Amino acid sequence: MPITVAMIEEKEFKTKMKGYDPVEVDEFLDEICDEMLAMQDEISALQTRLNQAGRGNANFAPAAVPAPAVVPAPVMPPMAAPVPAPAKAPVAEEKPAVDEAAQRLLARAQKFYDETVEEAKAEAAKILDNAQARADSGIADLEEEKKSLEEEIDMLKAAAKDYRERFQRLVEDQQHVLNSEKELFQ
């Protein structure tokens, strides 16, 4: 399937925990490179055919091949009749134009890749900051709960100590009563 500029601009990558899947981005950029190489090979083959056809007919001049900035591959118009040759054929200038278009496309792809990586890094940093803030908040809540529980334990210990002391006095008082009654019944 030929890759067009529109496809490159509209391509959306799946995100993972830390952003875009770098393997998927790299694979897509590899597809772009492969398509560009195929386009350059096709352009060279078409230029060779045009040159050969031009040598065979003195009145034939190759038509200008449109730059592949918008379409995936240059489309040759059907040759109905020979066209009178201009003073100089623009074939030599077409290859630099195609090369420039390819360079611009690759530069845009690289820029898109760089922006995607930066966005992924920024998103990862934001996620880490949010996670750290939630962790800090959770730790503060746990510290507050720990302090509250320690105070409750201290209160329970004091209440247990007070209960033990009162119970011990009660037992001692009962011991005195038993000892005094023992003396009465002897």
Please, what is the average pLDDT of the chain?
Answer: 76
Whether residue 149 is contained in a domain is answered as no
Whether residue 10 is contained in a domain is answered as yes
Q: What distance in Å separates the CA atoms of residue 151 and residue 157, rounded to the nearest whole number?
A: 10
- Predicted structure pTM score: 0.33
Cα within 13 Å of Cα(44), Cβ side = 7
Which domain, by its residues, includes 128?
5-141
Please write the tens of the pLDDT for every residue from 80-89.
Answer: 444 444 444 4
CA 74 to the chain's CA centroid: 34
Secondary structure (DSSP) of 89-149: -THHHHHHHHHHHHHHHHHHHHHHHHHHHHHHHHHHHHHHHHHHHHHHHHHHHHHHHHHHH
Q: Looking at the predicted structure, is the pLDDT value of residue 17 above 50?
A: yes
Q: What distance in Å separates the CA atoms of residue 5 and residue 177, rounded to the nearest whole number?
A: 105
> Is residue 94 very low, low, confident or very high in pLDDT (cuts 50, 70, 90)?
low
Number of domains in the chain: 1
Whether residue 118 is contained in a domain is answered as yes
- Who's near 42: CB < 8 A, 6+ residues apart? 73, 74
> Is residue 23 very low, low, confident or very high in pLDDT (cuts 50, 70, 90)?
confident
Q: What distance in Å separates the CA atoms of residue 69 and residue 81, rounded to the nearest whole number?
A: 28
In the block, residue with structure tokens 């939630």 = 134
Whether residue 176 is contained in a domain is answered as no
Whether residue 50 is contained in a domain is answered as yes
Q: Which residue has the higher pLDDT, 22 or 176?
A: 176
SS3 readout for 7-50: HHHHCCCCEECCEECHHHHHHHHHHHHHHHHHHHHHHHHHHHHH
pLDDT at 12: 72
Whether residue 165 is contained in a domain is answered as no
Whether residue 112 is contained in a domain is answered as yes
> Which candidate, 49, 47, 61, 43, places its Cα nearest to that of 99?
43
Whether residue 171 is contained in a domain is answered as no
